[in-house]
Amino acid sequence: MAFFLAGSLLLLCCACGPGPEAPGVPPQSAQQSGAPEDSLPPEEAPPPAEEPETPAPEPADDDFVRVQDYIPDIRVELKYATADNFTGTVIYGFSDAYLRYGTVKKLAAAQETAASDGYSLLIWDAFRPTAAQYKLWEICPDPVYVANPNNGFSSHSRGNTVDVTLVYSDGSAVEMPTGFDDFSPLADRDYSDVPSAAAAEHARYLETVMEDCGFQPYSGEWWHFSDTDS
């Protein structure tokens, strides 16, 4: 009888003990401790997409622009920004060339043609302030060579005229009929009296390129060209 009671008590204790754990369920100590989801570290967010830059509107044809901003490979050596001109004095105090945007577009086409043939345009003068025109007129009051500012704005002051010569693409000199602001008969477009056939050929080439791109040459100066549309 005592043996039977001891066995019954043993079976009862086994039945009341913890059962086997369900497969795949981690023990309580390995589970999250009940922290709310919004307190957990968030996943790294992707960087915001960059907004595309809005391109600047194209200037109007009559707007004045810096030539080098639209023709980066053109060469600029403004003679009136230095004392290297016929007056021997500085006429204006800036060294960048400015023109009407419509004129710059034509000049860009001329530069592209010259570059394809191994040359570059070199700007000697472009926009010229009215005060500079008065200064030139005081020094040289001859309408053959300097426009009289008392009769209205010169074409240079309107930003539609450019004085250019040719150089090679590497910047070395090309033989031309004269230097800038030469007041001798050699400066006109009758090339029969220029120093060499090469100088005449280069001047004719420049004239052809500029005319083909919409510029009107001035008969008294081989370097002087005005935009026909302004």
Q: What is the CATH number of the domain that holds 197?
A: 3.30.1380.10
User: Tens digits of per-residue pLDDT, 204-221?
Assistant: 999 999 999 999 999 999
In this structure, is residue 218 part of a structural domain? yes
Question: How many structural domains are present in the chain?
Answer: 1
d(CA 83, CA 216): 28
pLDDT at 72: 98
Which regions of the chain are under pLDDT 70?
Answer: 1-46
d(CA 209, CA 110): 6
In this structure, is residue 201 part of a structural domain? yes
In this structure, is residue 134 part of a structural domain? yes
Catalytic one of 21, 207, 211, 221? 221
Q: Where are the beta strands (DSSP E) in the chain?
A: 64-66, 75-76, 98-100, 119-125, 161-168, 215-217, 224-227
Which residues span the domain enclosing 217?
Answer: 69-227
In this structure, is residue 60 part of a structural domain? no
pLDDT at 86: 92
d(CA 156, CA 53): 35
In this structure, is residue 16 part of a structural domain? no
pLDDT at 154: 84
User: Tens digits of per-residue pLDDT, 78-109?
Assistant: 999 999 999 999 999 999 999 999 999 999 99
pLDDT at 1: 47
pLDDT at 6: 46
Q: Where are the beta strands (DSSP E) in 96-205?
A: 98-100, 119-125, 161-168
The answer to whether residue 221 is catalytic is yes
pLDDT at 139: 93
CB of 198 closer than 8 Å to CB of 179: no
